[in-house]
Structure formats: structure tokens, C-alpha cells
Structure 1
């Protein structure tokens, strides 16, 4: 019995109390054995994997468990500033040496050489690097090595970068960003999240002392808060030897300060925020119910099952809201209800609406009604069956195409493991997990989750939108009234229309082939049928077990008089909303 099935039966035994003393449902999921994973004595973590997609290419990442939240007030913006400085001189690559060296090998800055900073982390990457040239592997490892501990941070380069950051600060401040920063105190009340927008305080950027940046660097860019991930077309054993030798020499910080976790304090009463901007072009209503999840990583069989429950819930809610959008006068332009990650250590039930102009009450009330409907009556078995089938199909395709997974897709799993604790299982084990666990998920699971997700505590409602005399936004009083009304109103159960047995109601009559013509330039063949139709067929096994069909006829809008050309050109986009044959658009989607 393999490890996944053993875990599964241990879990079954525990939940049925058959063998509680001998089983441990919290036993960790098995990690992908093809990954060389470890931690050096200095605390640095590494992930190494050989992968041939694409051939003769590799990706190199360094993950810093450091972001804007670690800044003091006089350092506001320096985590992001430091990210920029990593490209402005290191011990072995002074000045713009990293960029110049890699661009000589066809690795473009901004596209394949990049980084990002968020409130909790900073990640640097060299992607799609050609590794068939002598010395390139060692040079890329040397770049990661320097990013870890050997930035030069010269006064000249710091002053030059102040101007770059100031320009980025200026160009970023569009309506969307202004409303984002103004919303932070509502979304993260009384928390440091509300004080750090990553790009920082312009006054700090212009005037900080050089040593302040260096102090931040040496305090937080340290081996016990760093991981490197290297994936590509190379020998993994040899790469591990290189990594252990080169990165073990980086000294750890003596008596390092603890890396803090930042809480978002509870709010007993709902928080309301209205944020407007004269340049905004649409309104977004965001209603969240926040939940503290101190250990939210997917580490065990039970965690994985819970993750599937979240995915299925989001899928079924999306399906219901899509049906509302198919109606003649939908109540909103965009509607989303889902449950998932909010910030590190937190999850949230989110309701997001983009309403029609000056129709915010109708749009928000429609979404809250759908949430109330599923809270009272749950989902139907048909909805769950379709959602499970769709998730399983996605995993089947992923499994069949597992030899086509890119280097960067693998790295994203390792970043998630290092920062969030999510296990990086193999594709084979993941496919087996989904087959074993999906049948154990029932309608009652969603009833139980919704009872815990929908609470009166930690509720936040933020409305972002245009500012102007002709614009009407929901007030706090009106918003709270909608929440109360929906909780008290009569709501009918969702009706899941029965599906047909087959897409095709009548047997299709075949047409014989009257002519066969080879198309060697395309490695294809053309068949002419007795009814006049022509079929071009090409066998391709790159995407296994997939068939792509496209049909067309000659003519198009050119067959119509000039007055009908605009309507004819619009027709193709409109037909997708009408379905096919006996099925409307939503019925067709469910059948497929």
C-alpha cells in the first residue's frame, strides 16, 4: 500500500473511531521525493528539482520572509527600496553587473530578471535562463548568494535610486491605488497592515540616512529567513552539492531578533468605509468576514480535504452567480462570493460586487441574498456532483500533462511551502489524493462550514467608487439595513434544473468520405465528405487526451448589405450567450 492510501485509511479509521489509538489524521502529507529539500546549518532552506520543461532552461529564486510589515515608521518604504538596490551592485556584480551579465546571455531585465515586495515577503527571480552555456549555472547561484548577504548599498547608488522610487511612487498613485491605500484602515483596523502600502512614505524615501537602509538589510536579510529554489534542466544531485557548498559559507546573524507575526485585532461591530475618487470609473463593494487561522497551511490529509471543500464551495457559488448574470437584467456587472486566504494567518469569506451605476443597493442585496440562500438551504447534490467532476477533470488533465509543468510552476509550490507551510506533494500523489478525498465530501460539510464562516464578528464593508454630484453611494445605514433585511426576508431554495441525458438528442448519421488529400506541410490530412463538408485532421499528442475542434463556413459579414455589417460582426460574440440546440448557455455549460 502506498503512502497516500495508507494516510487515507488512517484518516478513515480516525473519523470512524475504529482505531483511534493507532491512527493520526494529522500526519503530514508526503513531500515530492524528486525535490532536494533541506536546511543548511546557517538556517537557509533550499529546494532543488530537475525538470526538462523547457529544455536547457532553469529558474533561480531567493525567497525572503521579509516585507514591509517589518519596517519601523522611519523605515516606511525601505523593504521595497531594498528590493531595487539588489540590482544596483553586489559583491561579485558591482553596479548594474547582474543585469549586464544576464542580458548578454539572453535573459531580459523586467521579464526574466525581476522581484516583488509585499507586506510579508520579498521574492527575487531569474527565470528561463539558458543553462547550456559554460558557467551560467554557477553565475546564477552566485547572484542568489550575493542577494542573500552581499549587497553593496553604496551611497551613490542609493541616491540614484531615490529618484527612481519617487517616480514609481508618483506614477502608481492613480485612482485605484489611492482608494486602495485609503481603504487599508477599514480592511485592517488598528493593525500595521493599515500603515504599510509597500511603496512607502515619500518623506522617508527622500531623506532616510544610508545607514538606516543598511541596518534594515542586515537585520532582516539573513539566512534563517531565506530560502532558495532552483528548478531546471540540470543534474539535481550535482546542483545540491553546489548549493550546499556555496551557501553554507554565508554567516548566520548572531542573536537574531524574532520574526514577528502581525495580528489584525478583532472588531465586534461591523466596520463601514466609503472611499471615493474623482478619477474612479466604477464602484466596487467589498464585504468580508475575517477569520484567524494561525496554522492554515495544507500539511495533512485533513488539511487537504478542507482545501478541496473551499475550492468546491467557490466553484458552486461561481456557478450560481453566473446564472444570475445570464438573466435579462442582471443585478450587477460582476459578482463574487468565495472563501480563501486573506493575509498570512487569516482567511475570509468575501462578497464582492461591481454594481451598475447608481444601483448599488440592488447589486449588493442580490449577492447577500445568494449568500443567505446557501446558508439556509445549502447546495444541491447535482451542484456538488458537477463541481467534484470539474475539479477531478482538472486534476486528470494536470496529471496527464505532468511532464509539461514549467520550472516556475514548481517554484510557486516551494514558495508556498516555505512561507505558508503548504506541502509540495508530487503530481502523482496529488492526483491520488483528489480521487480518494473528493467522494468523502458531502453536502453537510458545506452547511457546517457556512455556519462557522458567517458570523457577526470581524465584518467589514468597504465601498470604493467615483466621486461626483451625479453619483449615489450606499450609506452605512443603508448597508446595515440591507444586511438585516436579507437575514429576515423570505428566501426560496435554489432550483437546480435537471440535465438531459446527452448533448445529442438524436443519433447522428454518418457521411462517407469521397476524397482524401494529404497536407504534408502541416502533417495533416483533409477528407471531403459526400455532403460537401471538408474535415482537416492532424494528430497531436503534445496535450494528451485532448481534442480541439473548430468549424467555420465561407462568407461571413461580407455576405450582408452594408447596413447589416455592424450587426453581423457582433453576432459571433452574442451567439455564445444563447446556447446550442435544446440548451441555453447555462445548461450547455453544466452539460459540458
Structure 2
């Protein structure tokens, strides 16, 4: 479970079509760029948006709201949510942190599930704690999520009883409260105790104008968490966990009427408290004029500026606000494109920039401009960013930009509409949750499809060009400057920063849109021939071998209507580069992949693809090189053209090379200030036995790299198609794809080198080793314990290690979190590989106080010793088997699983049909097998301990 920490507005996500106000529509013909905008017609009174007819919405006599929808993606599964209009904003001074603490206590004892019985019961039913079973607390709401199987009527029905227990019957046992104090304090430590938290504590009171929101962070006050009594938290629960502030959301593969009756029976008996407190709607008062806040921290590695202009929130409820939200998304897209284009210069003016209008907090929207500067170059970064917003305000957008933005929206809209019968239940739950919490409309995809199809082309440049003027203002404005403490004297004062902003737009000229009308490829290449074709009826694949030696494995599915995943690989990778040339080789794929293709630079390529549902990226790993792509059936040929061009006509762009090298140098400058980065760099170095290929690059290595070496290495890696295997998974007909495969893959050059990778022996060192890094101001320690060794890769061993991983996760959660109350979220990750050589690593990791490091390491080793001596308990084995069986059932209906699985089976030379026996193979896991596996692979003979401790005082 987690709470929503209020982050710096730099982390506000900017994405086009991210809300439910975007359904899918067919692209309509776009007007010629020469077409003049048409004057707006007579204003039509906005009408309320309808409610999706496929969701049943009701309210019980006690005020509890419910949303129920039948949905079969995924099959035999349901998402059950309890949404409570209760968050940290409603806490009294004595309750700070108890909204979030209440969420924790819901998992630590209710009327029908004392202590930890609830988690134990759900794990045995195949629900994984943390990954599936979860919750979060924010300022204004608390949300519990419970994904359940519906093929077990008992488990499914009992899920509503669990929600009812959370809604009205949490026990708040005093002993359980005391045990959980440490867990919540450790959650605060794990998520905070860093530069970002310290900077937020300085800047949030300014952004939130010292309102109650600024003093009600969901994690609360440490002094309260340590000392509150049961009566205080019961009072919060009594006042605010009441049915007229609650909603049950159920979406999944079930009978709607049956679920409605279950809800009436389970929740109808909940009552509202007598003399209930009013649910006050708190606000953030506007700030007259502009407020500037400069904040620094010793461990913050960047210098950034944020300009936040706050506006009243506009909730999408009618056609007018719906159209406004669409215009805002178009605006955000075009601003993002302009700012991203500047990163393609040989000397980019900043490391990162974004300007967008989006929701902020407390019924506020904001136009937020954010820029992260290169070290010592804040003035240029700020002026460049502000100049771009001023350019938009003064001159607006071009018609070609707007049409491209519309096409980008329409691609996503079309994709979602095409997937309307394959939409995941969790997507609907999120929409209904927003409807309950904020009143955002849920008109349904059929309405949205028709509405956007009819209205998007009514939006002209005149409509868009007024938005910047509406968004940008010097009223209710906050300017934040954040930087490293060591650069405090170099940061601008209030007068200087205001001067930069006020003069940044002087002399700007209208944006010039550099577009091309040339086709991606002038003509199709001469096709190669398919020389063999075999089918695997068991898993439904067809394997083609082409004349040039390339192999294609095709698995047509109906899991998604508008998705085709393409992946290709061949062995070699950077293992074939010398140490001297490694840095150039390692940069080759990201540089070439960001340089455009053939005669088109990256900006031109991006604009050409704006109206297409296609993404293609080349990669070079340590042992392989290849292509990753996803597309729709409609744009499949474009994806294949791009793949062909990345093989045959990669683009050499000096500006992109210089820009990337410049950006990397800037990032390295202050990397040593951040404790997490220093620790991770040490981890990488130690676990690779200090091999330079696995360590963060140095300035010396960066300076020795060259574009010529990178470009030539890339061309060499993609010069021989004979070693490549491609997988195609998605909605297609094999016979339809064959001509494209023959044309664009069969025509690729082939030299029949039959290359392999080199095993460079990069792995954790043998023996026992402890490495401690002392870095950080706060009392926050991080521990990794890494077991490693040689490994015989096969299905039997793999299953046993998978089981060991989950059993260890269960045991360490019980011991380190529940019993010791010393960590928030301990984790175990076991990985194994066949190539370049058979190796495994088992990593145990957690965050804790520095005083508890030795104790928790000892407790971990004690649990390992018990496992070696006794094996796993039958109950823990049952939990793993249930979770693995249910997750496998879901994965077998997902394109992304098959894309990864078929590629992995090919690389490891495995029989792909083995996946069909996976669930039955789980019977191999026994108490004795877990005992033997733990003894063999958690052997302390090879144990590396990596510890991050705060700086010594």
C-alpha cells in the first residue's frame, strides 16, 4: 500500500489523451494547410454529457454509491474498489498521518479477519500483496483495490465482504497499532528522507499558499505517528468512514444483477454516525501577484526553475468543458513538440523542459513551465523556455502543427475505440473513481467516438491561439528555483529571475514548422523468398525462414484488436566491441535511434509519424542487437519500412551526437551529490567486479568516444540479416503478413557470418564481501544482499527458483515488516540466465534506519537458515502456486507476454510448447524441494553485502 506524496510540479505528467474524455474515432480528412480558419458560428448552449449506459450506478438508502460494469478483459477476473472521500485534509492537528495509518490498519485486523488473516486468505486465493492487493491515501481520498478471480464464486463473493470490513469494521487493536507504527515510519523513511522531500517542504507552502493542504501531507507528523492512541484513530474512522462518503466499484467478468444484490446485502447495513461532521471542501486561496521561492539542498543534483500559474479547476461535465479539455490537450502536445525539438540542437539549451496545462491539487488547475538547466546555465534555460511560451502567446500555432496534433490525438482515440471490447477492467475503475471523487463525466466510449469524430475538426488555429494568453499571467503565479546547496551563491535573486522572465520574449519571431511531404520510402525493395514454413498447432505459431537466412515466428491472436508487437534479435551486441571502443558502441543504438532515418532528421520523422500508430526502436545490448516495435494492423507497413531503413539507411547526425554528449556531461557533473546515485554506482561496480562496461561512464571515456565509431559499429551489427529472428504477435492474418515480410525483411542484406556473443565473464565476485557507502544527510540506510553462482538453466530449476523467490518475499515480509517492524517493503529478486553463461543472482533488499542494519541482516539470515533447515511451509507453497497459476492464466491472454516469451524461448533454444505445461509443473514444488533449493542457491559462500549508510557525523 502507499500514500500519494505531493511531488514538485516538475513531476506532473504531461500526456496527450490521458483522461476518459478521449475515446477512439476514425480519422477524417484534414483540411489543406492553405485552408483559412473559419470564424466561429453562433454560440450553442453546452449540454451535460451523458452517463455511459454500460455502467450501472446506484445509491443505497444509507448513501453509499456503487458502480457496476460487466467486462471480460481479463477473463474470469474482476476489479473491486472501495473509494472513500476521506484523506489527510480532514485530519485534526492530533490526527496528522492517521488517514494513511487507517489504510494500513484495514489490512491488520477487521471484524471478520483478525490480525493478518485477510492478507493470508487472499494470498492463498492467488492475490499477491502489494502487486495486486493494495491501497493509497491522498489529501482528499483513500482508495482500496482488490483484484479477484471470478471463477471461484466463494472467493469472489467474499471479496465484497472484505470491502465491507474495510468500509465499516476495522478493529484498531491496540497491539496491532503499536506494531504498525514502525512500518508506517519506515514507509516515510523509504519514500522520503531525501533531497526531494526536503525541497518539497520548502516549496509546497508557497505553491499551496500556506493553506491547510500545505500542512496535511498524507504521511503525517512523526510525533503523532509515534504517540497517538487508539481512541484518536478510531475517532477519525468513525467520523469519515461512512457510507455517504463511500463508493463501491466493481468491474469484471460477472453478472451485474448478481453483484448488485451482493452489494445491497453486504453494505446496506452500514450506518452513518449520528450528528455527522460536514465534509468541508477545503481550497487554496489565490496569491495576488507573483511569489518567488528559492530553495537549495546539499544532495540535489540539478538546477531547475518552475513557473506555476494557478487557475480554478474546470471539471469536465458538459460539451463546453469537454471541448476545452480537448483544446488543452492539443495545446500541450504542440508545446511539448516545440520544446522537444530544441533538444535536437548540437548544444541543447536545457536538460529537460515541459510546459503544460493540467490539474494541480485542491480543485486547482495550473499552467506549469518547468526547465532543468545544465550546470551554470540557468539563465539561458529559463529564457529559452519562457521565450517558447511567449512565442505561442504572441504568434500562436501554425495550421500544420495543429493538424499534426489532431492526428496524434486521433491515433490514440482510434486505438482505444478499436479496443473497446478489450479494455482492461482497471481502466474503467479509474474513470468511475474520478467520477465519484470529482464529478468528472463518464459518457462512455460510444458517445465520445461520435462526438470527437464530429467536432475535432471544428477546432481552428484561432481557437488554439487564445489559450496561451488565458494560461499565462503574472497573477496567482509562483516561481520556484531549486538547486544544489553548493551553488546557492550562483542562483538568481527574486529581482533577477523576474527580469529574466519579463524580458525572455523580447524579439521572438513566429515559429517555422519544418515539414516534408516526401514519402518514407520511394519504392518498395525487391522482395526475398520464403524458403520454408512450419506450424506449431499447440501454441498457434507459424515459423518462416527466408532466403537470406532470417527467421520469422508469427503468432496471430485476438487479445487486442489494434495491436501488433514486433521484436527482432541476433547475437553479438557490445560484447564484440573492444574495451577501447565500448563507450562508442554503447551509445550507438540510442544515438542512431534518435537521429531520424535515411534523409529525414528526427524532427521530420516525428512529424511524419504523428498520424500513425507506430513506434520502432533499434537496440544493442551486451549480447544482442535488434529491433523493438509496436504498431496497429493499419500502420503495419510503415513499421516494416522503418525496420528496413534502420537496417539499411541509418542516419548519421552530428548535431544529435553533440547534443547527447553535451547532455551526458552535464548529468555527470553533479551526480556525486545524490546518495542514491553514488550507492547505485557502487553496486554496479562491485557486482561487475569493477568491469568498466557495467559502471557509469566517465568523462574520460565519454571524451574518447566518437560518432564515426558509434555509426560504424551500428552498421556492422545490422549488416547481416541471416542471424536475425523476428517475432510477430497480435491481430493479423499470417498470409496477409507474408508479402510484407518478404519485401521488407527478405530483402535485407545477408553475409552469413554466423556470429555469436562473447562471454566476458562479467558477474558478481566469488566469496564473501561487504561494501559500505557513507553518503546522505538523513538517517536512511539501504541494504542489498546478493547471493550468486553458476546455474544450470532448465524449466525444473527455473520453477524452483521462482518459488524460492516468492516464499522468501512472504517470509521476509512477515519477519522484517510485521514482526520486527523495521522495514516497509522488503523485496527478493532472483534472476537466472542461460546466456552468455549459466548464472543466477538472488538479491534481498530493504531500506531501514542505520541503527537496525545489523539486526535486520541477522534476521534475514535467520529466515534463510530456517528455510534451509525446514523448507517452506505447505501454506506458503500453496500461496505461490495459487498466485503463479492465476497470473499464468492471465498472461497467456496477453500479447506482451507472448512477444517476450517467444523471443526468450528462441534465444535460449527452448521448446516454446513448454509454457502449456507450466501450471501442471508447479506440482514439483514441495517442502523438500524448497529446502534443497534454498540450501543450494542461498549459500553464503558467495554473498555480497552492499550497504548505504548516512555520512558519519
Corresponding residue of 1:154: 173
Q: Deviation digits for residues 92-140 of structure 1, max 9, x if unmatched?
A: 111112111111111121111111111111111112x222224112211
1:512–1:143: structure 2 CA closer, same or farther, 3 Å change rule?
A: closer
Q: Is the 8 A contact 2:195 2:299 kept in 1?
A: yes
The 2-side partners of 1:561 and 1:483 are apart by 49
What is the 5 A alignment of 1:253-402?
253-293=273-313, 296-402=314-420
Which is worse superposed, 445-454 or 513-522? 513-522
Question: Residue 73 of structure 2 is aligned with which of 23, 36, 53?
Answer: 53
1:123-162 to 2 correspondence within 5 Å? Answer: 123-127=143-147, 129-162=148-181
Query: 2:604 maps to which residue?
Result: 587
Task: Tell me how many residue pairs correspond in the alignment.
Answer: 567
- Matches of 2:438 and 2:461, distance apart in 1: 28
1:497 aligns with one of 495, 498, 514: 514
Residues 1:218 and 2:238 are matched in the alignment: yes
CA displacement at 1:539 relative to structure 2: 5.5
Residues 380 and 230 (structure 1), Cα distance of their counterparts in 2 relative to 1, 3 Å cut:
same
Change (3 A) 1:141 1:510: same
Structure 1 residues 515 and 62, CA, compared in 2 at 3 Å: closer, same or farther?
Answer: same
Q: Distance in 1 between matches of 2:577 and 2:363?
A: 60
Which is further off, 312-321 or 132-141?
Answer: 132-141
TM norm structure 1: 0.91
Q: SS at 2:510's partner residue?
A: coil
CA gap of 1:469–1:276, structure 2 versus 1, over 3 A, is: closer
Are the counterparts in 2 of residues 37 and 47 from structure 1 also a CA contact under 8 Å? yes
Q: CA deviation at 1:303?
A: 1.6
1:70 has 2:90 as partner: yes
Which of 570, 577, 590 is the matching residue for 2:594? 577
Match of 2:360, SS state, is strand
Distance 1:548 1:145, change over 3 A: closer
Higher mean C-alpha displacement, 258-267 vs 517-526: 517-526
Distance 2:530 2:172 in 1: 75
- Map 1:400-411 onto structure 2 (within 5 A): 400-411=418-429
Q: Secondary structure at the match of 1:319?
A: helix
Question: Which shows bigger deviation, 463-472 or 92-101?
Answer: 463-472
3-state SS in 1 of match to 2:307: strand
Of 543, 547, 554, the residue aligned with 1:538 is 554
* Farther-moved stretch of structure 1 (210-219 vs 380-389): 210-219
* Matching of residue 564 in structure 1 with residue 564 in structure 2: no
Instruction: Identify the match of residue 480 of structure 1 among 485, 498, 501.
Output: 498
Determine helix, strand or coil for the equivalent of 2:52.
coil
Work out whether residues 419 and 562 of structure 2, in 8 Å CA contact, stay in contact via their aligned partners in 1.
no
1:10 aligns to what? none
In the other structure, the counterpart of 2:229 is 209
After superposition, the C-alpha distances for 1:300-358 in whole angstroms (9 at most, x for unaligned) are: 12221111111111111111111001111111111000001111321100001111122
Determine helix, strand or coil for the equivalent of 2:504: helix
Instruction: Tell me: CA distance 1:535–1:138, structure 2 relative to 1, closer, same or farther (3 Å).
Output: closer
C-alpha displacement of 1:380: 0.5
Q: Residue 233 of structure 1 is aligned with which of 231, 253, 257?
A: 253
> Relative to structure 2, which stretch is displaced further, 129-138 or 77-86?
129-138
Q: Which has the higher contact order (CA 8 A, sep 6+)?
A: 1
Using the alignment, how far apart are the partners of 1:442 and 1:514 within structure 2?
49
1:434 paired with 2:452, answer: yes
Distance 1:440 1:63 in 2: 38
1:425, distance to aligned residue in structure 2 (A): 2.4
Contact in 2 for aligned 1:358/1:471 (Cα 8 Å): no
- 8 Å contact 1:344–1:420 — kept in the other structure? no
1:223–1:253 Cα contact (<8 Å) kept: no
SS at 2:486 equivalent: coil
Q: Is the 8 A contact 2:82 2:247 kept in 1?
A: yes
Shift of 1:512: 5.1
RMSD: 2.2
Ranges in structure 1 where 5+ consecutive residues have no aligned partner:
5-14
**1:204/1:29 Cα in 2 relative to 1: closer, same or farther (>3 Å)?**
same
**SS where residue 404 of structure 1 aligns?**
coil
Determine the structure 2 residue equivalent to 1:176: 196
Q: What are the ranges of 5 or more consecutive residues in structure 2 without an aligned counterpart?
A: 1-22, 24-39, 610-953
Structure 1 residues 528 and 244, CA gap change in structure 2 (3 angstroms): same
